[in-house]
């Protein structure tokens, strides 16, 4: 999971340096290609349908389970490419634990769960990391 996350982060670094934000980082948009090199797989990002210039990010788009708090905040208009990093953290949690970090059926439940969460390491992840 860590190797995949690092490869995704490298891809995001390229996008962000070009002034772009993916805005829909999630496991369903991560693809693995068999590698003949040092890695078992090369990770590729897909679904660039929500890709946008980072200077004009206002629309609340993406998959709610991976959306950063600033995207879910109804009082906040603008956000930046850092929302991709938040989503990557949510995806890493899902790779390690096998379930989404934030549970809920709609955007209001996800927002409430995020607001009530005092820490970023779930109990399941913490126990797994201790092993």
What residues act catalytically?
Answer: 24
Residue for token pair 């709610």: 64
Q: Which residue in the block uniquely carries the two structure tokens 């890709």?
A: 51
Rounded (10°) CA dihedral 107, 111, 116, 121? 90
- Listed in order, strand segments (DSSP E) in the chain are 20-21, 30-34, 41-45, 52-53
């Amino acid at each position: 999971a860590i190797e995949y996350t690092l490869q995704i982060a490298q891809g995001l670094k390229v996008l962000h340096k070009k002034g772009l934000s993916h805005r829909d980082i999630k496991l369903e948009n991560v693809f693995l290609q068999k590698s003949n090199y040092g890695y078992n797989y090369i990770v590729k990002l897909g679904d660039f349908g929500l890709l946008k210039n980072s200077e004009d990010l206002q629309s609340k788009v993406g998959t709610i389970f991976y959306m950063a708090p600033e995207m879910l905040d109804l009082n906040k208009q603008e956000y930046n490419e850092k929302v991709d990093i938040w989503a990557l953290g949510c995806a890493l949690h899902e790779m390690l634990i096998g379930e989404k970090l934030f549970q809920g059926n709609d955007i209001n439940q996800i927002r409430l769960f995020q607001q009530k969460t005092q820490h970023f390491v779930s109990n399941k992840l913490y126990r797994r990391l201790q092993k």
